[in-house]
Amino acid sequence: MKVSKWKHKNLFKLEIYYYVTLFLFIFYLMQIVFSRYLEINVFDSFLWVLSDGWCPPPTESSFLKSHCFGDYGLTLHHFNQSNPWDEFSGLPVNPYPAVGYLTHFLFELIGNITNNSNIGQFLYILALTLSSFFPCVYILKSSIHNKVMKVLILSPLAGTLLFAIDRGNAVVFTIPFIFLAFKTYLEDNLNKLLLFIVILSILKPVFIILLCIFILYKSYSKALLGLGLVSVVHFISFIQFTDKNSIWFILKRYLESLKYYSNYQSLETIYPYNISFTRGLVAWSNVITDLSQLESKSFLDFIILHKNLISLIPLILISLLFYFFGSKLVVNKLGLFTFLLTVCISLSPITYQYYLVVYIPILAHIFLLKYSKENEIEKTFLDIILHFTTVLMIAFSVIPVIWLKFYLNDINNYLTTIFFVPFLIALYLILFIIQTFRNSYFAYDFDE
């Protein structure tokens, strides 16, 4: 019996473009209507509180009097300690490796030289903003039509970038390198791809997962080389904090801080937004329990208890797929790279929404990719579900739209579409693995 399939043209590029454009229009319309007529501060609904504390030491001041871009100052507070991962320092838990200080050191040095920490902080925020413009500049250099609208969408006016810059988080520095890494991946330039993945893994160690791409090319030597380079750089960076303690003690404290950080916020907490895979599973578990009116929450309790192990499930499953199917893996490059990036940002049980900026360079490439009739393929119902899950996941991540009044942390805030992102990420990862296994399994020649 012939199985019927949905005939579906590849409209991914067109759909996501109009989704994001629509959300951007709504986003700015809300700013006018909500703030002018309803006395609602739109920005306070998806940004952190204005008086966020943790101004840069030693002056404890900011070039903006009421806002300190907290992650920048807090990182400096941590790394000015003899042991940045000391649990008795009185500071919040520090999940950053020693090399995380690298992106702050130069700007702190400028502040010390000028005897004004505000100058270093200002240049740091300026560097973040310029980094976020990288995809825009690349699009301007291209010869595609509708440049103005596409640059507007990809500018730092997008909600996810505003949040990341507002926090002063160094994850924004990864945008140019993610963009270039995917570009070299499309061109099959493995040497440059390795370089950009190594840089990304130095900035944020979790991006070392992208080395899985080399398994598909059976380029195990490059994967091991990348792993070795990243490991050596990180190991050496810890040596600077060994004045009073051994390197092994420092490494142990760092690993312990990662464990503490996974408990930093309950998986059932809504705000600040946690977009991790395990948070998504908890959210789905709550929905299913409420709809089925079950009193038992044993599955929910199991997820919370084993959250660190469960967070590794997507990585373990895709590694098994790579190992058993290797080059027979039936998946397009855009789909695979998006999947691996999603695994990277959702791996930790606690991942705040500023990590969603990784979708900005992906969105740029979606606009740049040229589809032809060869891309028009027949798709199954599961393909359609995965397709629209991906569209919504990226669109909701980039342009947060306020949708429901909610009181959080004694502040009159409003939930945004970021609330749905962990739902979509969990669904997306599960659907992608199932569909990749299905396609690869039936495409694999077991007689080889």
Q: Report the share of the chain in percent with pLDDT over 70.
A: 70
Which amino acid, 396? Answer: F
Residues in contact with 432: Cβ distance below 8 Å, sequence separation at least 6, in sequence order:
335, 339, 386
38: DSSP letter: S
Please determine, for residue 25, whether its predicted confidence score (pLDDT) is greater than 60: yes
Return the pLDDT at 447: 44
Q: What is the pLDDT of residue 446?
A: 41
Q: Which of 53-67, 127-141, 258-272 has the lowest mean pLDDT?
A: 53-67
pTM for the full predicted model = 0.84
pLDDT, mean of residues 31-37: 67
Inter-residue contact 8 to 364 (CB < 8 Å): no
Among 76-90, 110-124, 199-213, 226-240, which is the least confidently predicted range? 76-90
In whole angstroms, give the CA distance from residue 26 to residue 38.
16
The C-alpha atoms of residue 296 and residue 251 are separated, in whole angstroms, by 40
What is residue 448's predicted lDDT score, i.e. its pLDDT? Answer: 45
Radius of gyration of the chain (CA): 22
What pLDDT does 362 receive? Answer: 86
**% the chain with pLDDT above 90:** 15
pLDDT one-digit tens code per residue, 155-170: 556 678 888 888 888 9
Dump pLDDT digits (tens) for 369-421.
654 343 444 466 777 788 788 888 887 887 766 555 554 544 445 667 788 88
| Structure confidence at residue 192 (pLDDT) | 94
Contact 202, 233 (CB under 8 A): yes
Confidence grade of residue 330 (pLDDT, cut at 50, 70, 90): low
More confident residue, 222 or 141: 222
Q: What's residue 376's pLDDT?
A: 44
- Give me the pLDDT at residue 410, please: 43
Q: pLDDT tens-digit profile of 272-306? A: 788 888 888 888 887 777 666 655 567 677 777 77
Higher pLDDT, 311 or 12: 311
Q: Are 436 and 330 in contact (CB under 8 A)?
A: yes
Q: In the chain, count H helices and then E strands.
A: 21, 4
Contact 397, 163 (CB under 8 A): no
Q: Which residues pair with residue 274 across a beta bridge?
A: 352
Q: What is the mean pLDDT of residues 140-162?
A: 62
- State the residue for tokens 């924004």: 172
Pick the more confident residue, 101 or 56: 101
Tens of pLDDT along 228-249? 999 999 999 888 887 777 888 8
Q: Is the pLDDT of residue 18 over 90?
A: no
Indicate the domain borders of the chain.
Answer: 6-443
Mean pLDDT for 173-186 is: 93
pLDDT for position 42 = 63
Q: Work out the pLDDT band at 7, boundaries 50, 70, 90.
A: very low
Nearest by Cα to 174 from 362, 26, 432:
362
Q: Which residues of 242-278 are buried (b: 16+ CB within 10 A; e: fewer)?
A: eeeeeeeebbebbeebbeebbeeeebeeebbbbbbbb
What does the chain come to in residues?
448
| pLDDT at site 149 | 54
Is the predicted pLDDT of residue 250 greater than 80, yes or no?
yes
Single-letter amino acid code for the residue at 19: Y
* Contact by Cβ (8 Å): 130, 74: no
Can you point out the beta strands (E) in 176-327? none
The rounded mean pLDDT for the chain is 77
Q: Mean pLDDT over residues 204-219, rounded?
A: 88
The SS3 assignment for 267 reads: coil
Residue 89 has pLDDT above 80, yes or no: no
pLDDT: which is higher, 143 or 35 = 35
